[in-house]
Structures are given as C-alpha cells and as structure tokens.
Structure 1
Amino acid sequence: MTDLQDVGAFVAVAQHGGFREAARKTGSSPSQLSEAVRRLEAGLGVRLLHRTTRSVAATDAGQRLLEQLTPALDAVATALDVVNGFRDRPAGRLRLNVPASASKLVLPRILPPFHQAYPDITVEVIVDDSFVDLLRSGCDAGIRYGERMEQDMVATPIGPRQQRFALAASPTYLERHGTPKKPQDLLQHTCLRGRFSSGAMPPWEFEYKGKQVLIEPNGPLIVNLGAAADLKVDVAVAGGGLVYLFEDWLQPYFERGELVPVLERCWPAFPGPLLYYPGRRYLPAPLRAFVDFIQAMRW
C-alpha cells in the first residue's frame, strides 16, 4: 500500500507550488519531499509533477489525484482531531488567511488572550489581500468583508461591528494647500492612492448631503493596498498628500498630531469583518476553540 506520508508530501508540494515552500510549511526538507514524491510516482507508474528549475506544477494525472485526495485527507485529519476532545484543553495548529487590515486592526487584540487561554494551539497567519480558496490554500478559516465572501461558508463577526474609512493629511500639507471643504475639492489636491492585487484601483467613497459620492482622485503615488499601506501613511505624514484608509489605522497618527482628519462628516461607515470557514458539521478543535472565543468577546 502506498505510504500515506508520501501522499501527504505530494499534496503539500502541489498545493504550495514547489518543494521549498512546501518544506517551509510542513517542517520537512526539500530533499525529503522530493524523494517522497519520487517514491509515489514510481509506485503508481505515472508522473504527477512537472518540474523545472523555476517552478513545479501538477500534471493532468497529478491534478486529478490532488482533487480526489484533498477531501479524503481532510476527512483523515478530522478523524484524528476527534481525540482532541479527550484532552484537558485543545491543541494543534490553526491556519488563518487574512487581509492586512485584519492583521493590523483585529488580530492584535484577539491573539494574546487567545494564546493565554489556549497555549497548546499554534496560530499560523497568512496575510493575503487577494481572494483565496480556503480549502485549496490549506487554511482552516479566513477573515474577509461580506462582499468578498466565498459561497457555502459559515461566517461570524470578528472585530469591530462597524468601521469607517477616514481621510487625512499632515498639518504641513494643509497649511500649504488648504483644507478641502467637500469631496469634489479632492480633484484639485495631491492624493495617495492604492491598488488591489487584482489591478483594480477603488474610488474614494464619501457621504455628502445624504448622497454617496465617489471620487477618482489623482496623485503621484500608487501602492499595493494592504502590503504597502503604511508607505502611503508615511508619505502623508511627511506632507506628501492626502491618505484614505481605515479610521482605526490612522487613529494613532491623529492622537499624535501627525495627521489631521479631513472631511470627517463625510466618512462612510461599513460593516466590520467576518471570520468564515467551511460549513461542515465537525470543526477541528483549534478552529472550534477560536470560533467560541471570538463569539464571547466584546468589542
């Protein structure tokens, strides 16, 4: 019978797109994973992975095998996790896929008390602002906003129930260029913009005189939203232009006087983030503990 460890090695390499990344995720070495995949291919008599010096990709046979193995291995992991119910406290690994905003504004308040309550659970956080397939990424749960939720998922609020986008500039910038009085004035100002990994560059949204106003501002800087948002803030602090970002992200700069709120009466509010995970009957013990923990928290 094929060694299940070899099967697991193949799945890890195929899911992570290479031996080095799979080794980093699994705690193995690239050479160990490579040898395990070779044994599996030899035993099955078919090539499962295309290997080049730069990349690794599943063959047609490998892709078909991966599709069949993923739910089966999930079932094995779920069965093994049942023994967690016989422990004094749950243990294991919890993998979360979250956007940069959640890693900065939500998780820092949750993780310290969660680790104190569950010291045997290791939380691995993957920061990714793109849309991901949780199951294929190997994550147990994710954090996203409602409009970017995967179908057939269970969702529960995590973090603040309501948030706002804020507009800000440094005192120096406002002294030189004046303070905008209405959203349309931003078209005459230097604005620091952001772009999603998909390439989309969202407009700046405001609520003005009871109506939604969308502004497509201009400016000398465009950064990746999430990954480089702090660069945008730093440039704004240095007097380089206006920045539009989560209010909670900018709040420390307001408190220190490095940035000044602009058009505050027009800032739009929106529902806070959600923790989402596959809607299966049995949840792994680490995920169950995390869900129960955040549902008991008060924000």
Structure 2
Amino acid sequence: MADLQDIGAFVAVAKHGGFRGAARMTGNSASQLSEAVRRLEAGLGVRLLNRTTRSVATTDAGQRLLEQLMPALGAVESALDVVNGFRDRPAGRLRLNVPLSVSKLILPRIIPPFIAAYPDICLEIIVDDSFVDLQRSGCDAGVRYEEHMELDMVAIPIGPRRQRFALAASPGYLRQHGLPKRPEDLLRHTCLRGRFSSGTMPDWEFEHKGKKVVIKPAGPLIVSLGAGADLKVDAALAGSGLVYLFEDWLKPYMERGELEPVLERWWPSFNGPSLYYPGRRYLPAPLRAFADFIPTMRW
C-alpha cells in the first residue's frame, strides 16, 4: 500500500501545478516532494506527472488518480477535524485567498479580534487579485465580490454591505487644470489608470439619480490593479492626475486635505464582498469559527 505522505505529496504537487508551489503551501522542500512522488510512481509502476523544466502536469493516470483521491482525502480531513470538537478551542490552519482591497480595507478590523479569540488557529492570508480556482489554490475559503465569485459556493457577507468608488485629485492638480463638473469632463483630464492581470483595463463608471455614465479614461500612467494601487495614489498626491479607487482607500488622504473629492455625487456604490467556500456538510473547525465570527462584527 502506498504511503499516505507520498500520496499527499502527489496531490499537493498536482493541485499547485509544480513542486515549488506545493512546497510553499505544505512547508516541505521541493526536493522532498519530488522524492515522495518518485517513490509513489515506483510503487505503483506508472508515471503520474509529466515534468519539464518549466511545468509539471498530471498524466492521464495521474489525473484519474487525483480525481479519485480528492473526495477520499476530503473525508479524511473532515474525520480528523471532528477531534477539534473535543477541544476547548478550535485549532489548526485557516488559509484565505483575498484581493488586495480586502486585505487593506476590511481584514485589519477583523483579524486582531479573531486571533485574540482563537489563539490556536493559524490564519494564513494569500493576497491575490487574480481569479483563482479556490480548491486548486489549496485555500480553505476566499473573499471576493459577487461578480468574481465561483459558482456553487456558500457565501457569507464580510465587511460593509455597501461600498463606493471615489474620484479624487490633489489640490495642486485641480488649481492647474480645473475642477470637472460632470463625468464627460474627464475626457479632457489626465487620468491614472489600472489594468487587471488578464489585460483588461476597466472603464470608470459613474451614477447619479438613475443616470449611468461610463468613461474610458486616458492618461500617462497604467498600473496593475491591486498591487499597483498605492503607486497610483502616490502619483495623484504628487499632482499627476485623477485617481479612481475605493472610497475607503482614498478617505484618509481626503480627510487630511491631500486629495480633494471630485464628482462626489456621481460616485457609484456596489455590494460589499463575501467570504465563500465549497458547500459541504462538515467544515474544518478553523473555517467554521471564522464564519461564525464574521457576523459579530459591526460596520
């Protein structure tokens, strides 16, 4: 019978598409995982992974084995987690995949009281603005906005129920270029833009009294949405142009007078994010504790 640790190593490598990614998630070295997979392949007498210098992918046999193993390993995890119910406090690791906006604007209010209430839970936050497959990413749950959420998932609201995008510029920029009076005026202004990892550059949307206006901004700076957002803010602070971002992200700068709100009555609102995870009968104790904790927060 194959060693369960070797099976676990194969599953980790297959799920994360390589030995390095699996090593980061499991805490083992890539060489240890590689040796474990070789032992498993030797014991089964069949190749499970095709390896190149750039990628690792399952063979047909490896894919079939992975499909059969996933439900069984999930059942084993659930069975072992039952023991958590006999502890005074839940313990274990909870991995969350979240976008940068959530890690900056929402989690700072949740994490300190949560880890104070559950000191035996290790909370691991993976900040990722790409649209990942939650289960393949090795995370227990994620936080996303509804338009980017995977289907067939349990969703629990987290953070404020409504948020807004805000438009702002430095006082110096507005003195030099004038204050836009309506969204269409932005076509004559310098706009600091963002691009998703997919390559898409979103339009700027505005709404007032049921009227919606969509602007395709133009300007000399494009940053990656998420990771580059602070650079866009810094450029706006320096007077380089208008910045369009979460209201809560820009609020501290506006309160200090470093940025001034622009077209405030046109700022669009949208539903806040949700914690989401695969629907299943038994949740891991750390995830169950986190899901139960979220509704106790007030926004």
Q: Deviations over 1:108-143 (max 9, x none)?
A: 110010000000101111111122221121111111
Whether 1:109 aligns to 2:114 is no
- SS of 1:7's equivalent in the other structure is helix
Alignment of 1:15-94 (within 5 A): 15-94=15-94
- SS of 1:252's equivalent in the other structure is helix
Deviation at 1:64?
A: 2.0
Deviation at 1:93?
A: 0.6
Deviation at 1:188?
A: 0.2
Give the counterpart letter for 1:65 in structure 2: L
Q: Deviations over 1:78-119 (max 9, x none)?
A: 110000000000000111111111011111110010000000
Alignment of 1:283-294 (within 5 A): 283-294=283-294
Give the counterpart letter for 2:128 in structure 1: D
Alignment of 1:137-156 (within 5 A): 137-156=137-156
Whether 1:133 aligns to 2:98 is no
Number of the residue aligned with 1:271: 271
Q: Does the 8 Å contact 2:16/2:136 carry over to 1?
A: no
Cα distance 1:209–1:298, how it changes in 2: closer, same or farther (>3 A)?
closer
Deviation at 1:210?
A: 3.1
Using the TM superposition, name which of 66-75 and 182-191 deviates more.
Answer: 66-75
C-alpha distance in structure 1 between counterparts of 2:208 and 2:152, whole Å: 36
Give the counterpart letter for 2:197 in structure 1: S
C-alpha distance in structure 2 between counterparts of 1:13 and 1:135, whole Å: 13
Number of the residue aligned with 1:229: 229
Q: Deviations over 1:28-52 (max 9, x none)?
A: 1222111100000001111111222
Q: Does the 8 Å contact 1:183/1:208 carry over to 2?
A: no
C-alpha distance in structure 1 between counterparts of 2:261 and 2:68, whole Å: 53
Number of the residue aligned with 2:298: 298
TM-score normalised per structure 2: 0.97
Q: Does the 8 Å contact 1:155/1:277 carry over to 2?
A: yes
Give the counterpart letter for 1:255 in structure 2: E
Give the counterpart letter for 2:205 in structure 1: E
- SS of 1:135's equivalent in the other structure is coil
TM-score normalised per structure 1: 0.97
Give the counterpart letter for 1:100 in structure 2: L
Using the TM superposition, name which of 37-46 and 59-68 deviates more.
Answer: 59-68
Q: Does the 8 Å contact 2:105/2:249 carry over to 1?
A: yes
Using the TM superposition, name which of 165-174 and 221-230 deviates more.
Answer: 221-230
- After superposing on structure 2, the runs of 4+ consecutive aligned residues of structure 1 that deviate more than 6 Å are none
C-alpha distance in structure 1 between counterparts of 2:57 and 2:252, whole Å: 45
Using the TM superposition, name which of 115-124 and 17-26 deviates more.
Answer: 17-26
- SS of 1:219's equivalent in the other structure is coil
C-alpha distance in structure 2 between counterparts of 1:71 and 1:140, whole Å: 15
Deviation at 1:209?
A: 4.8
Deviation at 1:61?
A: 1.7
Give the counterpart letter for 1:30 in structure 2: A
Unaligned runs of 5+ in 1: none
Alignment of 1:167-246 (within 5 A): 167-246=167-246
Give the counterpart letter for 2:63 in structure 1: Q
C-alpha distance in structure 2 between counterparts of 1:126 and 1:244, whole Å: 25
Q: Deviations over 1:249-290 (max 9, x none)?
A: 111111222111101111011111111111111111000000
C-alpha distance in structure 2 between counterparts of 1:115 and 1:100, whole Å: 20
Over the matched positions of the two proteins, sequence identity in percent amounts to 81
Deviation at 1:67?
A: 2.0
C-alpha distance in structure 1 between counterparts of 2:60 and 2:233, whole Å: 46
C-alpha distance in structure 1 between counterparts of 2:283 and 2:106, whole Å: 22
Give the counterpart letter for 2:138 in structure 1: G
Number of the residue aligned with 2:3: 3
C-alpha distance in structure 2 between counterparts of 1:5 and 1:64, whole Å: 19
User: Alpha carbon RMSD of aligned pairs, Å?
Assistant: 1.1
